Amino acid sequence: MSETSRSVLVTGADTFWGARILRALEGDPAIEMLLGLATSAAATTFERARLLYVEPTFSALRSVVRTSQVDTVIHPCMIVDSVHASGNEIHETNVIATMNLLAAAGTSGSSVRHLVVKSSSLVYGSTKQDPATFCEETPRADVPRTDLERSLIEAEGLVDDFAQDNPSATVVLLRVSDVLGAHIATPITKNLSRPVCPCVGGFDPLVQFVHEHDVVRAVTLATRHRLTGTYNVAGPGRLPWSEVTTICGSRRLPLPPVRPGLAVAPLARLGIFDFPPELDALLRYGRGMDTSRLVAAGFEYRYTSEGAVHAFARHLRLARSARASLSAGTAPPQRPRSHGTPAPGRRRGPDHEP
Amino acid sequence: MIPEAPRLSDVDEWGRSERIRSLARRIYAPVYSRWFRVEWEGLDKIPAAGGALLVGNHAGAIPSDAPVIMHGVETELGRPVYGLADYFFRGLPVVGTLWSRAGGVPARPDNAYRLLHDHQELALVFPEGEKGPSKPYTQRYQLQRFGRGGFVEIAMSAGVPVVPIAVVGSEETMPVLWQVPQLARVLRVPYLPVTANMVLMGPVGLAVPFPSKFRLRVLDPVTFDVEPGRERYPKSRVLEESERIRESMQRALDDMLRLRRSVWFG
């Protein structure tokens, strides 16, 4: 698909997704130059990608874009977890940094022809009025009430504006569902890895997951195939939260259906629970997404929603047994590795895409 | 794709669980056959395969027509029926989850289209909405307005027939004497009636229906000679079809009432 050599800029080289996407793109011979933007010292080392340190709101990117002559910008570093970020941080990262990035990419005479932005299924919200399945065009049923959702919706609006102002550029927006994987840490993965995890009493919603490898593959596919438009990224199928917790071997602690956030506030403070307001809504009404558009564009999911949960549960079991044997003072047992499940601590390998 | 272990639950993407449905059917069977002594007429008119929109008249403060139709069709035809209803239920703890597991789906055009067209399932809808069960007993078996004909539009775009079902017996299960709209507002429920059951049985009457005899008549399926898959259809045509279906159901109800000799024995 990549007929000409390309130069690609990826934001957030020091973040989870930025680093992963950079590493996946390093293996693509069609990419001549790979640039990563970082705002702090990156934890990963890269073989090919050059890192550029910039300030967190991307306010001085114009010269970077002009001198590097990149033709593709990938922006995967928006915050989607409100537990460890203040409202102000979320606004600065999701709205202001995106605005500055798009402004730099959209100046007259800019070399940028392709834009890939990773957004989140949080823009759909989660309410009782929701359809069972959100298509890319389904409007949100309620007014967003949290800083995080508002910032993501505003950022998507900026991307829309960019697409209108630059009709010759391909612009793709990927709405990624809740992610599971051995490496990623989200409120959901953290809750599921504990012996007891929250649910909202009397509710057992249908939830849909996507595996972290599939997210990286979806971003690289969107980049290679120069997709344009909005695409849901979510493993096919969905399952009730009770089934998810059972597979992961975690007991459900029902929270009162009225203001559950208040009830767990002390526990959340101590770090025993992660319960951002977005999770309160999700654990009541769930969310389902239509996955057919990305599949029609040539993407093949390696993990269904359920497959992602099983893969994550396998990772949890390995991590627990490794911890148990470490505390017993013996070496971790040598277990046959099941396909597609990286052993804990192993960082490379499965993330590298062919 | 990684090979997967068998599912732990059988909850489908609508939230329905066949296991919970069959348990509910086992519990409901005596109510269906002993309490209401349900009898069907023309059950074979409901398609054995493919999508179809079942449409019924809705009555009784807590309507028994929905469970009776769903139970009857599922046991006789062996196909699941999804009941389209107001999303109000979904917000209630426990009730919302059970409602969803038993085949309840929020009534939205996109949900209905996906059920009928993409999945070719049977969906049940009551076009009168809450106007049916909330009307006073003095207006029994008088069909209310059929909304704005949305059910016709969905059947047209999904390319499936509408199968009208006339239900006699439902009005007498829980006759509405009068409404208390102030209390309904405070409790945030769609309507709150005082029923004859409450007057005669006290608190038990909140949930227990009278044992009236149920007779259901399935009318001829209505197909529309329009191109499916369109975003919208001419409103005049939609309302005309909706009115025609309403009239045929009203005629069937009147006919069934004329033949009925006793509320309790049919």
Q: Domain holding B253: CATH number?
A: 3.40.1130.10
Provide the pLDDT for residue B166. Answer: 98
Q: Specify the number of domains making up chain A.
A: 1
> Is residue B242 situated within a structural domain?
yes
* CA dihedral over A146, A150, A155, A160, signed as positive or negative: positive
> Is residue A53 situated within a structural domain?
yes
Lowest mean pLDDT among A61-70, A324-333, B133-142: A324-333
> Is residue A333 situated within a structural domain?
no
> Is residue B7 situated within a structural domain?
no
A203/B contact by beta carbon, under 8 A: yes
> Is residue A177 situated within a structural domain?
yes
Provide the pLDDT for residue A342. Answer: 41
Residues 237 to 256 of A: which have CB under 8 A from any B CB?
A: 237-240, 242-243, 246-247
> Is residue A49 situated within a structural domain?
yes
Q: Specify the number of domains making up chain B.
A: 1
Question: Distance, in angstroms, between A208 CA and closest chain B CA?
Answer: 10
> Is residue B55 situated within a structural domain?
yes
> Is residue A335 situated within a structural domain?
no
> Is residue B184 situated within a structural domain?
no
Are B93 and A201 an interchain contact pair (Cβ–Cβ within 8 Å)?
yes
pLDDT band of A273, cuts 50, 70, 90 = confident
Which residues touch B161 (CB under 8 Å, ≥6 apart)? B47, B52, B53, B155, B221, B222, B223
Provide the pLDDT for residue A330. Answer: 57
Residue range A322-341: average pLDDT?
61
Provide the pLDDT for residue A269. Answer: 82
> Is residue B197 situated within a structural domain?
no
Provide the pLDDT for residue A1. Answer: 44
**Cα angle, residue A268 at apex, residues A264 and A269 outer, rounded to 5°:** 120
Predicted confidence (pLDDT) at residue A346 exceeds the cutoff of 50: no
> Which residue out of A136, A177, A204, A214 would a mutagenesis test of the B interface target, given it has the greatest number of B Cβ atoms within 10 Å?
A204
CATH code assigned at A136: 3.40.50.720
For residue A296, give both structure tokens: 């029609």
> Is residue A277 situated within a structural domain?
yes
Predicted confidence (pLDDT) at residue A234 exceeds the cutoff of 80: yes
Cβ contacts (< 8 Å) between A203 and chain B: which residues? 93, 96-97
Predicted confidence (pLDDT) at residue A96 exceeds the cutoff of 70: yes
Question: Distance from first CA to last CA of chain A, Å, rounded?
Answer: 14
Are B11 and A206 an interchain contact pair (Cβ–Cβ within 8 Å)?
yes
Provide the pLDDT for residue A42. Answer: 74
User: pLDDT tens digits for A153-180?
Assistant: 999 999 999 999 999 999 999 999 999 9
Q: What percent of chain A has pLDDT over 70?
A: 91
> Is residue B120 situated within a structural domain?
yes
Provide the pLDDT for residue A108. Answer: 84
> Is residue B232 situated within a structural domain?
yes
Predicted confidence (pLDDT) at residue A328 exceeds the cutoff of 80: no
Are B96 and A132 an interchain contact pair (Cβ–Cβ within 8 Å)?
no
Q: What is the pTM assigned to this prediction?
A: 0.89
Task: Judge contact between A65 and A111, C-beta under 8 A.
Answer: yes
Dist. CA A279–CA A297, nearest whole Å:
30
pLDDT band of A60, cuts 50, 70, 90 = confident
Dist. CA B86–CA B106, nearest whole Å:
6
> Is residue A339 situated within a structural domain?
no
> Is residue B205 situated within a structural domain?
no
In 3D space, the residue among B32, B59, B101 whose CA is nearest the CA of residue B193 turns out to be B59
* Nearest CB to A132; choose among B1, B9, B14: B14
More confident residue, A324 or B143: B143
> Is residue A212 situated within a structural domain?
yes
Range of the domain at B110: 18-171+215-258
Dist. CA B39–CA A94, nearest whole Å:
61
Provide the pLDDT for residue A344. Answer: 39
Range of the domain at A265: 6-327
Which parts of chain B have pLDDT scores under 70? Answer: 1-5
Pairing of β B162-168 and β B215-218: antiparallel
Predicted confidence (pLDDT) at residue A352 exceeds the cutoff of 70: no
